[in-house]
Amino acid sequence: MSDTTLAKGYEPAEVEARWLEFWRESGAGTADPQAQGEPFSIVIPPPNVTGALHMGHALNLTIQDILCRHMRQKGRKVLWVPGTDHAGIATQNVVERSLGKEGVTRQALGREAFVEKVWEWRKDYGGRILNQIRRMGASVDWTRERFTMDEGLSRAVREVFVRLYEEGLIYKGDYIINWCPRCQTALADLEVEHAPKKGGLYQIRYPLADGSGELVVATTRPETMLGDTAVAVHPEDERYAAFVGRMVRLPLTDRLIPVIADAYVDREFGTGALKVTPAHDMNDFELGRRHALELLQVMDGQGRMNAAAGPDFAGLTREECRKKVLEALQEQGFLVKKEEHDHSVGECYRCKTVIEPHVSPQWFVKAGPLAQVARKAVEDGRTRIVPDQWTSTYYHWLDNIRDWCISRQIWWGHRIPAWTCQACGQLVVSREDPAACACGGALNQDEDVLDTWFSSALWPFSTLGWPDKTPELAAFYPTSVLVTAFDILFFWVARMMMMGQHFMGEVPFRDVYIHALVRDGEGKKMSKSTGNVIDPLVMIDKFGTDALRFTLAAFAAMGRDIRLSEDRIEGYRHFVNKLWNAARFSLMNLPAEIPAADLDAEGLPLHHAWILHRLEAVKAATGPALEGYHFNEAAQGLYSFLWLEFCDWYLEMIKTDFSGDDPQAKAVAERCLWTVLSELLTLLHPFMPFVTQEIWSHLPGHAEKDLSKVAYPAARPACVRPEAEAAMNLVREVVVSVRNIRSELSISPGLKLDCLVRTADAADLSVLLGNERLIMSLARLATFTAGPGVAAPKASASAAAGGNAVFVPLAGAVDFDAELARLGKELAKTAKEAEIVGRKLANEDFTARAPAEVVAKEREKGEMLREKVAKLEELRARIEGLRG
């Protein structure tokens, strides 16, 4: 016997810490670009350096690690690149808040000193998210860890900016952008989150300049009327045909503005007349450009009204100005009415401040030409989006893309490599910091930094060493798959597609796998405000990493959100324990050296032939399921095999082999058990790396002690025996029939029963007689009889097993009177409970006033009780028949 050192119970914390250190020291996960094998590469979606692990990260990491570990098993050379994003706005906000506690502002520190403070913060705290990624068991290549502002990536960012500028794809110009008055920076369209708000729709009179009439416009933002430069109506709107080309007097000001016609106007909204404020509304800006309207900016970058708003309003906040404008309109008779109006309001994705459209000089990428190429790559099948339902969403965004505003008015980030000459005004864009202008004048660098998404758009090739021609770039680009969430399909995925093809001439990844959202057990989105967040680190501490990973994989059905609860994670902790206990039993019965018994022979006993056949089926299904991104199918197949076949049946079957006196039977059982457990650990390893590695390290007969380096189990065609599966199914049906009879009639588990089977044909008879010993052991039988002429004994329970009839004589095994008395009491109690629930549901006050979920639970309870009553009545009638 081998000396088992597995503890009685599995303790994840100690095991995980030990193997994490082992894999760190051994360099597991380190890729060799020169190694043999087809490449497989993944770049990790870089979490913000300010971030902490959440359940979305946990799912994403689990999926990536399963793929990487599986591909290593299949002989691929795998590179999984880790790293973090510098998260410009978020990180600057964190450091500013920290300084604020000391009474220090970034302005007081100055730019250089503030940036140094941010680097210090990153050194002290920036590794937190990476350590949490380690705890998930992620087998990334830690020797190639990257940061979006490290030296290599910064060089790549500057190279890309300069090339795009030289190609005319980057330009600077006045444009309306989303502006956050709190963060004091521009935001890309995708960085604006829209939230439903209750507001007002205000109708305001705009009198014609000649006093012959008036137009009534409707607006949700009356404070911006101070910047109106036109009123627009639809060219086909007969109500206003006579107004087009005339002038109206703008209320509260001395200005006259024209009435213009444009098909953009929605005739059904409000009054059908639209106030046009080109400097303070995205759509009005485009309308203004079409009609050459004046850009009148009446609000500054702080969200306060400026001098152009007029002396009565200058200096007021947006909110203060709205109130004062409405009061003035009311007093002067211009306000017609106010209606309640629900509308969507844009907010900064970081600080939730209401954004303000703002015209200012910004840097832009001409997105149109790049977007067309990114779209065509998916159309042509060079990149596949999985599941396909997201492809149309991807197309829609690219088809409607606007130029990408890439400048941000903050200090933390890649500073824009552009300088302006103070002498001649020349703009210099350069890969290297220039000393002076060609004219000899001094140069001032642009104060802005680049949008964080600009650097992360280069991630698939910049992390591999571009712009240098590195071995990693040659071996691992394009990457194999990107695993990500749908919410950054536009922020990141599409932009990587643009940049990858433009600079590498090839798509950045072959597949994009979009995983689902992790919701709470009720299907609600997790959020701190609702208090339903499940912290993955808390779950790891409580149940272990393997339990969390397997839970996520088991529910990761393609295109379907995951409903996660602590109970579900605890349930898969029991699965981890099941594997542990099965391994303990196996190790106690295995020798130090594994016998070289032949497992491909035709003459194997049925239980061995059956489990080996089932193992081949699981091996054949698991690989393709993972490679097709059906993680839940692979996980559930392994779960069923381990729990329902290996543990519940096979381990019970081989106990007679180990306790018997036949050395050959024992040797075959040892070899088969060792083989199945070894290959099962290998199949489970990508899902549950820690517990499988710990068990593997105690399993005798393996030269390779690191399970992460063990190949995917090879197929054994000779072990594919469907006839063995059919025969074992019959044996199990007979055993289950006896067990069900024993359970239904409350027969003591220790009492051995008699069993008779009337067989349907000679083949079934041969299977049953050939496995008589096995059936008697599993069903705890005193005698077993089978044959075509078997008759049902008096007072016997019966069941069907395929086309065969199973009989269990009950004389002496069941006290019919006592059982009927017990059933009578249970039936009366259950019927009374069902009646109480029925009365409650018949009460209209209860069904009308109680919460819907409470009523639903009561209905479910009532249905369950009614079903139980029916089953008890059926069982009572059956026992009365047997007694009679």
Binding residues: 528
Tokens of 577: 């324990």
For residue 13, which of 574, 545, 708, 569 has the smallest C-alpha distance? 545
Task: Say how many CA atoms lie within 13 Å of 181 toward its Cβ.
Answer: 16
Token pair 């009614």: residue = 866
The C-alpha atoms of residue 473 and residue 475 are separated, in whole angstroms, by 6
Tokens of 328: 């003035």
DSSP 322-347: HHHHHHHHHHTT-EEEEEEEEEEEEE
CA distances from 98 to 108, 116, 819 (A): 14, 14, 73
- Annotation: binding site for ATP: 528
Tokens of 670: 């040892």
Instruction: Specify the 3-state DSSP secondary structure of 668.
Output: helix
Token pair 């149940």: residue = 543
Residue 816 burial (C-beta neighbours within 10 Å; 0-12, 13-18, 19+) = middle
Tokens of 43: 């770049």
3-state helix, strand, coil in the chain (%, to 5): 50, 20, 35
Tokens of 101: 């506690």
519 and 526 Cβ atoms separated by less than 8 Å = yes
Distance of CA 794 to the CA centre of its chain: 60
Q: State the pairing for strand pair 77-81/509-515.
A: unpaired
Bridge partners, 511 (sequence order): 384, 481
Phi and psi for 419 in degrees, rounded to 5?
Answer: -130, 145
Sequence-ordered list of residues with C-beta below 8 angstroms from that of 821, at least 6 positions apart, any chain: none
The C-alpha atoms of residue 440 and residue 465 are separated, in whole angstroms, by 36
**CA angle at 81 for the pair 80 and 85, rounded to the nearest 5°:** 145
Sign for the CA dihedral angle at 554, 572, 16, 693 comes to negative
DSSP state of 712: P
The C-alpha atoms of residue 11 and residue 46 are separated, in whole angstroms, by 31
Helix (H) or strand (E) holding 187: strand 185-187
Gyration radius (Cα) of the chain, Å: 36
